[in-house]
Amino acid sequence: MTTLITKTITKICVPLVILFSISLLLAGHNNPGGGFIGGVMFASIIGLLYVVFGLEYIKTFFNPDWANWFAFGLLLSSITAFGAIFFGHNFFRSAVEFVHLPFIGEIELVSAGLFDIGVYFVVIGGLLFIFKNVGDDR
């Protein structure tokens, strides 16, 4: 049984850690971070929800199939890695495009970002699949 303080702090921390996780994902190409550490942060906060509120309570309103998240991430990462071959380049070659947006400025679009998003979903799906199945085992 967890305390009211633990539940309250967890409710406050969940959206903040999810935003931090997405921030790590998006900053990963040019700065420290990326899909792996962003996915670990997301999985850790969902794991904290499982621990604090209990798996059965969380399942009543949030029960995704984490294996599908894993499969989607693996598919996206694989398509990104093999996609360069279809354009006559080497395996895993990254494409870079600079786009100028009004009021924002110049933005760098990199195909490696899609790979990072795939890794993000693979890590989330894999870790939370393990957390859920270990916690569900009775």
CB 125 within 8 A of CB 73: yes
Phi, psi of 107 (to 5 degrees): -120, 135
Q: Cβ atoms within 10 A of the Cβ of 88, count?
A: 7
Q: What share of the chain is helix, strand, coil (3-state, %, to 5)?
A: 70, 10, 25
Q: How far is CA 18 from CA 58, 136, 138, in A?
A: 17, 24, 29
Structure confidence by residue, pLDDT tens digits, 37-49: 999 999 999 999 9
Q: How many domains is the chain partitioned into structurally?
A: 1
Tokens of 36: 């792996």
Show the domain range for 64: 4-136
Q: Where are the beta strands (DSSP E) in the chain?
A: 96-101, 105-110
- pLDDT tens digits along 64-118: 899 999 999 999 999 988 888 887 888 888 778 898 988 888 888 888 888 899 9
